[in-house]
Structure formats: C-alpha cells, structure tokens
Structure 1
Amino acid sequence: MNNVPKIILASKSPRRQDLLRLMDMEFEVMLKDVDESYPDGLTPQEVAVYIARKKAEAFDGTLNGEVVLTADTIVCVDGLILGKPETPDHAVEMLQTLSGKVHQVITGVCLLYKGRYNNFFDVSEVFFRKLSDQEIKSYVAEYEPLDKAGSYGIQERIGLIGIERINGSYTNVVGLPTEKLYAQLINLNK
C-alpha cells in the first residue's frame, strides 16, 4: 500500500498475518519475548491496550523507519477476562463458560512509529448459541485452541456452528480490527 512504511508485525498469529496479506500490506514478522501480565484494576479495554503497548515498547529504539504493529486480543464474559487457555481441559472450560452467552472480543492495537505510540482498541459483541459438551470436546480435540483468546477461532468449526451473530467488526474477532488499523496507517505521517 502506498505511503505506508514497512510494517514489523510483532505477532506469531497466522490469522493476523493473513489479514495483513489480504490488505496488501508489506510486512515482516519479528518477535520479542514480552511479559503479558498487567496491573490489577484495569478495564478489559485497558488490559488489551496495555499489553499491546508493552509489546511495542520492546522494539523502541531498534527501528529504521518501520512501523511496529502489535496487538492483543482478549475475550470478556460476565466481567471475566479470558486469555489463551493453558491446557485442553482449560479450553473446554472456557468454551463451556461462553456457551449460550454474549461475550465481548476486545483487541488492543499499538503502532510505534518515529518514537510515537498510537494506541487504540475495538470491541465486538459475539452471541454464542448453547453448545453441547460433545461439540466443545470434539472441537478442542481436532483444532488448536491453545493459541486463541477464549479458546476458539471464529473462522473454525466452533465459530461457524456456534456464533449466532456479531455486533461489530468481524476482523476484530479474528484478531485485528482491520478497518480501524487501515485508518490509522494512512494517517501515520499527518
């Protein structure tokens, strides 16, 4: 895309990489280990942005004109923040918690460019139908939910059969609010 500097995507998420490719963005994946803990008392939106910014800070002072793109996606249901599950059993528990409920998917994004941090977030509401234990256990056994906030991918079977509707951005639920990202990227030099 013209007028946008090369992007350093600080994420191993294949879904985020796919979204950037679909946007015709030139990018390179570069990873740094970052502690994803956060202080108590933050709202879910603040948590997502806090972690995204923390990821970007690991790159401060190491760039040559590129823009660093970091993101963190969390799922929130009934005031409880669900990150990535630690085990398959934990994934089953998370999906049982989401089953039959409305939850929020929040993605915090940070763009680091020329020493400036641009933080933003997006929130989508996801309506899950009641899932059977068999549907949940089968999904966890056949897919790889351990790298996904809330233990599911919207583009995978559980998302395709379980989600009744979404209020908000589909790509945000995938892991990157492309609509907001595009608007921020084209205004980087303004």
Structure 2
Amino acid sequence: MALILASGSPRRRELMALIAPDYTVMTSDVDESKIAADTPAHLAQALATAKARAVAASHPEDIVCGFDTVVECDGEVFGKPHDEADALRMLRALSGCTHKVHTGVCICRGTRAAATVETTLVTFSSIEEEDLLAYVRTPEPYDKAGAYAIQGHAALWCVGIAGCYYNIMGLPVHRAAQLLRAFR
C-alpha cells in the first residue's frame, strides 16, 4: 500500500513531507471548470474530492490525498489568476480586508473516502498600488489561489491570521494528518 499525493504543487509536496516522508506524487486530470458547489468552502472540498477520487480510481489499493484551495472575498471565489489584470483585481479586493482561505481535504482508498474543509481568516493591510503593480510583474501570484503566496511577498501585507497558517499554503497539516490517521 502506497501513499499518493494527488497534487503537483511544490508547496503541498513540502508540507506533505511533514506528515509522511514516504509518498509519491500523481496529478489528476480533473476539469475543475466542471465542478460547482453552493459555497466557496464546499467548492474547495468538492475539488479536492474529485482530484483524490480520480487518482484513487486507478490505484484502489493505495491511499490518495487530494487538496484544493480557494480564497473567498465577500462571497466571491478567487482561484488562480488568469492574467495580470485578474491578479490586480483580486489583490485590490483583498487590500485592507479580511478574507477566508478554504482548503478542501479528501483522503481515499478504493471506494472509501473522508473529506473535510479547513478555513483560515487572513487580514491584509492596505496595499500600496506601486507594490501591487511590482508584485503582479513577478511569477509569484500566478499559480496561487487569490493571487498571493503568504510565505512569499504577501507576508509583508499580512497583519493577522486566525486559523491554520499551513492551510493558506494549500495543505492544512494538522487536519490532513488527523484524517489520514484513520486510513493507516
């Protein structure tokens, strides 16, 4: 029985190693645009479940861990930005506000699955326009929900966190470890 991380994210790989140093990576081919849910938190969970189940379908004897993160600002879902204008739109909305980061977690083995969602509140100070413009010209915002990396430049804007810090990076370590324990 192997442990599989159903994500290509370098941040998730690093965080997964805190839970279990011996695992393999296998990404799914899930079309995220076809998945909908009634709330941003449920969307994160549905996406994580779809990814984990897609990989588990071809590896029924293995334990598969799927994750997906979305940022919620005033009820709107901020995924990964499509371009510079989209990144600027998201970051301007987050400036001076508190938003939610939801990460869906799903652990599968064969047809058995357990899923949950972790939510963290993040408060940003007001971000100067020059800083936003410089930031969106770097590669950092473009493969991250909400167009920022809390462990990167966005740390300069963060004035408060309520909840799991690692959740903001895309893998709530404690919650995932607790869920995974039931499958071992």
Contact 2:27 2:55 in 1 (8 A): no
Who is 1:70 aligned against? 66
Who is 1:176 aligned against? 171
Helix, strand or coil at the partner of 2:7: coil
Who is 1:86 aligned against? 82
Who is 2:162 aligned against? 167
Root-mean-square deviation (CA, aligned residues, Å) is 1.4
Contact 2:56 2:63 in 1 (8 A): no
Residue 39 of structure 2 is aligned to residue 39 of structure 1:
no
Q: For residues 61 and 79 of structure 1, do their structure 2 counterparts lie closer, same or farther at Cα, with a shift above 3 Å needed? A: closer
Match of 2:72, as an amino acid? C
Helix, strand or coil at the partner of 2:114: strand
Deviation at 1:182, TM superposition (A): 0.8
Give the TM-score of the pair, scaled to structure 2.
0.94
2:99 to 90, 103, 111: 103
Contact 2:57 2:110 in 1 (8 A): no
Match of 2:85, as an amino acid? D
Q: Distance in 2 between matches of 1:112 and 1:24?
A: 16
Who is 2:24 aligned against? 28
Equivalences, count: 183
Helix, strand or coil at the partner of 1:150: helix
Q: Distance in 2 between matches of 1:133 and 1:184?
A: 41
Cα displacement string for residues 4-43 of structure 1 (whole angstroms, at most 9, x for unaligned residues): x532111111100011123343111111211113236x11
Q: Distance in 1 between matches of 2:108 and 2:60?
A: 12
Residue 123 of structure 2 is aligned to residue 127 of structure 1:
yes
Give the TM-score of the pair, scaled to structure 1.
0.91
Deviation at 1:114, TM superposition (A): 3.2
Q: For residues 45 and 35 of structure 1, do their structure 2 counterparts lie closer, same or farther at Cα, with a shift above 3 Å needed? A: same
Q: Distance in 2 between matches of 1:66 and 1:57?
A: 11
Q: Distance in 1 between matches of 2:139 and 2:151?
A: 11
Q: For residues 91 and 64 of structure 1, do their structure 2 counterparts lie closer, same or farther at Cα, with a shift above 3 Å needed? A: same
Task: Give the fraction of aligned pairs with identical amino acids, expressed as a percent.
Answer: 37
Who is 2:150 aligned against? 154
Q: For residues 24 and 111 of structure 1, do their structure 2 counterparts lie closer, same or farther at Cα, with a shift above 3 Å needed? A: closer
Task: Structure 1: give runs of 5+ residues left out of the alignment.
Answer: none
Helix, strand or coil at the partner of 1:59: helix
Deviation at 1:176, TM superposition (A): 0.5
Q: For residues 120 and 100 of structure 1, do their structure 2 counterparts lie closer, same or farther at Cα, with a shift above 3 Å needed? A: same
